[in-house]
Amino acid sequence: MSRYFRGRMHMQAEEERQENFFNVCGSCRISCCWDARPPITLERERIIQEYLKVRGIQVDEPFVHGEYTFPRETADGYCIFYEKATRKCIVHPVKPETCVAGPITFDINVQTGKIEWYLKMEKICPLAGIMYKNRALLEKHFENARREILQLIRQLSAKALKTILKREEPDTFKIGEEEIGREILDKLQGPYGP
């Protein structure tokens, strides 16, 4: 199988990561793409770079590499991949895992050994309100969000994971929790641990 064909198959699979909620998000005046700084794994960075290249989209220095990697922001604080004119993400099919997961977010409680799942409040995300009122939609989206976030935390370095867990997620409420694997707990309690 050619590299190009494998890449096309991979991108097609990426396009199925999330339902398109643009009917809600496109009219929202609260921007989750402002000051978001979603974490980017090495694998996600490679996928986004490949997506940009294949589509001929030029973005100079798209990522910031610090305590963790995230998309560079514009001068006014928006994600470099957010297109103000259309209110859409230019890398939507391959966007970061936490962007796919939104409005579901997470925290890891090392003391209990659990990952805790949260839903943003409607006042900061109209889509969250729609999902809260439509349990079937929330459950379907949660499956995707859970898969994306678990993949993310497995792939992030210990330092990156510890750094993003320090970011506050105000205006959310807990919707569930589950055991997290020993591998993740060991990562969090290692040299970059609490």
**Where would I find the H helices in the chain?**
3-15, 22-25, 42-54, 97-101, 126-133, 135-155, 158-165, 182-189
pLDDT above 60 (res 13) = no
Average pLDDT value for the chain: 88
pLDDT above 90 (res 8) = no
Q: Which position has the token pair 């990156």? A: 160
The answer to whether 137 and 127 are in contact (CB under 8 A) is no
For residue 36, what pLDDT is reported?
Answer: 92
pLDDT above 80 (res 82) = yes
- Whole-structure pTM value: 0.85
For residues 73-86, give the mean pLDDT.
94
pLDDT digits (tens, 9 = 90+) for 158-192: 999 999 999 998 899 999 999 999 999 999 987 65
| Residues 6+ positions from 130 with CB-CB distance below 8 Å | 24, 137
Helix (H) or strand (E) holding 118: strand 114-120
